[in-house]
Amino acid sequence: MSDSASSISDTPNNQNPQNQSSGRELWSSRMVFILAATGSAVGLGNIWKFPYITGENGGGAFVLIYLLCIASIGIPIMMAEIMLGRRGRHDPVTTMKKLARESGHSRSWGLLGWMGVIAGFLILSYYSVIAGWAMAYIPRMASGAFQGLDAAGVNSVFTTLVSNPEVLIAWHSIFLFMTMMVVARGVRGGLEKAVTYLMPLLFVLLIILILYAIDTGHFSQGLTYLFNPDFSKITTDGVLSAMGHAFFTLSLGMGAIMVYGSYLPSKTSIAQASISVAFMDTLVALMAGMIIFPIVFANSLEPSAGPGLIFKTLPLAFGHMDYGTLFGTLFFILLVFAAWTSSISLIEPAITWGMKTFQISRTKTSIIAGIFVWLMGLLTVFSFNLTSEVTITSTISTKYGEFVILKDATAFDFLDYLTSNIMLPLGGLMIAVYAGWLMKREYSREELNISSGLYTLWSFLVRFVAPLMVVIVFLNAMGVVAFVRTIMGV
């Protein structure tokens, strides 16, 4: 399908935020939208988090459930979020207010947009710090600092890095500056260019790394681990965490995809775009798994090494392989690129909202937002060194016993918990409920413009399946599932 791209997008209005609704800039083509949304979806979640939670949950069965969740929650909610964004054509707060008015519902739906703006802001504050770690690894890799190191040596490189606040602050600053530079230049000027070049490059790098993984001689072992489900290894928590991850990895529930949808030309098929984005996001996660597990097995490392899997163990592998310096450097460059395109979308809802609310330019909004995110990021930086001992534990005591929601959580753990476990699921739930139950059916039918069979399927998924599953993820995050399981003795 082709959009009459240039005629629509030839009305750039970057300098004039007041006029957003009438002359809002649009993506120059459907492909650019797909690239940008894929850039948002593919990030640390795919390359860093997916492999380690797969490793923690025993491989194949977890991957299968994750894939089912992408199809049954991810794609319908993504369609709903893009649809709301395109119909509203504003920042998430204004969009939700406008749509609620259009369908005769309360303006408090604007709160959904608000929560997204705040979630994106909070996530970016720690995302930037972790992406900073990946950046810090590029010069270390390139200079061959990991060559010949043993596990203790690699571990100490990581520990030295995270225990030094000045160094972490420096990388966090550089990464955030890169992000805000692109954001400040606006959709046409910055984002499109960034994603048009970055996404294809990302795929090329992944393919090069897969070729290397094949060369390790442990590729089939890696594939078996990823794709041969062993249901005895999966726990209820594993199922819930697969669902939660499906959600996070597609950037759903906080308005990022809604804002991107607001730049989407009206004729573009939302269903096709959503399926393409979910497909590519999943492909990148699976490719990352196919790269990491053969390397893990070839070097007798533990798949269940946890969040340190990439930072603590991959350099060990890279340090002992032919061309390890080259491949290791490429790998961390790739990770930073992926994180970069995600971080742009994390702050975009806050930027569009700020421009509208304070009537200031995109550049000014970006500078102000950047300063706040930078300051907030210090909480995460210090969580790994100066304030690592400052933790909170949150429990609920009932007559059935104590239920621990957060245990020894640092500021970073808390931010991650609050955003991934509470704010995103809640936002996704609200999007599904709004799109499925409250929005007039004629509107969603008109926006989605799919066959009536497909519309019925979408409607069923978004009204029943997705909300129910999200409620379970949410309840799990609140410790309610553990509570119920204990009462019921299962």
Nearest distance from C-beta of residue 236 to ligand PHE, angstroms: 24
- We find the least distance from the C-beta atom of residue 304 to ligand PHE, in angstroms, to be 21
Q: Which residue has the tokens 């459907």?
A: 30
C-beta separation of 270 from 78 below 8 A = no
Instruction: Choose, by CB under 6 A, the member of 17, 45, 324, 427 that binds ligand PHE.
Output: 45
Cβ of residue 129: shortest distance to ligand PHE, in angstroms? 14
Q: Are 290 and 214 in contact (CB under 8 A)?
A: no
In the complex, what is the shortest distance from the CB of residue 470 to ligand PHE, in angstroms, rounded to a whole number? 15
Assess contact for 374 and 173: CB atoms under 8 A. yes
User: Does residue 40 interact with ligand PHE by CB under 6 A?
Assistant: yes
Pick the closer one to ligand PHE by CB: 410 or 420: 420
Return the number of the residue (65 or 122) whose C-beta is nearest ligand PHE: 122
Using alpha carbons, select from 49, 51, 52 the residue that is nearest to residue 287.
51
Number of other residues whose CB lies within 10 A of the CB of residue 460 = 13
Binding mask 167-206 for ligand PHE (x = CB under 6 A): ----------------------------------------
And the tokens for 47?
A: 């390359």
Sole binder of ligand PHE in the list 46, 216, 262, 299 (CB under 6 A): 46
Least distance in angstroms from the C-beta of 285 to ligand PHE:
8
Assess 52 for contact with ligand PHE (CB under 6 A). Answer: no
Picking from 127, 125, 157, the residue whose alpha carbon sits closest to that of residue 328 is 157
Does 28 sit near ligand PHE (CB under 6 A)?
Answer: no
Binding to ligand PHE by residue 346, rule CB under 6 A?
Answer: yes
- CA distances, 308 to each of 253, 287, 311, 447 (Å): 27, 19, 5, 43
* Residue 71 Cβ vs ligand PHE, minimum distance, rounded to whole Å: 17
Residues ≥6 apart with Cβ < 8 Å to 115: 254, 423, 426, 427
Q: Which of 251, 262, 274, 459 binds ligand PHE (CB under 6 A)?
A: 251
**Residue among 100, 141, 161, 254 that touches ligand PHE (CB under 6 A):** 254
Task: List the x/- string, 407-426, binding to ligand PHE by CB under 6 A.
Answer: --------------------
Place of tokens 């499906």: 246
Q: Is 128 a binder of ligand PHE (CB under 6 A)?
A: no
Q: Which of 262, 342, 365, 410 binds ligand PHE (CB under 6 A)?
A: 342
Q: What's the min distance (Å) between Cβ of 119 and ligand PHE?
A: 8
Asked if 256 interacts with ligand PHE (CB under 6 A), we say yes
Considering beta carbons, is residue 288 or 433 the nearer one to ligand PHE?
288
Burial of 270 (0-12, 13-18, 19+ CB in 10 A): buried
Which of 52, 109, 248, 340: binder of ligand PHE (CB under 6 A)?
A: 248
Q: What is the number of alpha carbons within 13 Å of residue 341 lying toward its C-beta?
A: 35
Q: Smaller CB distance to ligand PHE: residue 46 or 57?
A: 46
Q: Which residues contact 85 (CB under 8 A, 6 or more apart)?
A: 92, 95, 255, 257, 258, 259, 260, 261, 262, 264
The Cα 46–Cα 407 span in angstroms is 26
The one-letter amino acid code at 298 reads: A
Asked whether position 286 contacts ligand PHE by CB under 6 A, the answer is no
H or E element, residue 376? helix 362-383
Q: What are 222's two structure tokens?
A: 């890696």
Minimum CB distance to ligand PHE, residue 345 (Å) = 5
β-bridge partners, 403: 396
The DSSP symbol for 24 reads -
Residues in the chain: 490
Sign of torsion, CA 365 370 373 379? Answer: negative
Question: Which positions ≥6 away from 137 have C-beta within 8 Å?
Answer: 311, 315, 328, 332
Q: Which of 26, 44, 381, 435 binds ligand PHE (CB under 6 A)?
A: 44
The reply to whether 54 sits near ligand PHE by the rule CB under 6 A is no
Residue (40 or 282) nearer to ligand PHE, CB: 40
From residue 95 to residue 124, what is the string marking binding to ligand PHE with x (rule CB under 6 A)? Answer: ----------------------------x-
Report the SS3 class of residue 126.
Answer: helix
Binding test (CB under 6 A) with ligand PHE, winner from 38, 249, 276, 352: 249
Q: Rounded to whole angstroms, how far apart are CA atoms 231 and 243? A: 16
Is 43 near ligand PHE (CB under 6 A)? Answer: yes
Q: Which residue is nearest to ligand PHE (CB)?
A: 45
Point out which residues bind ligand PHE (CB under 6 A). 40-41, 43-46, 123, 248-249, 251, 254, 256, 342, 345-346
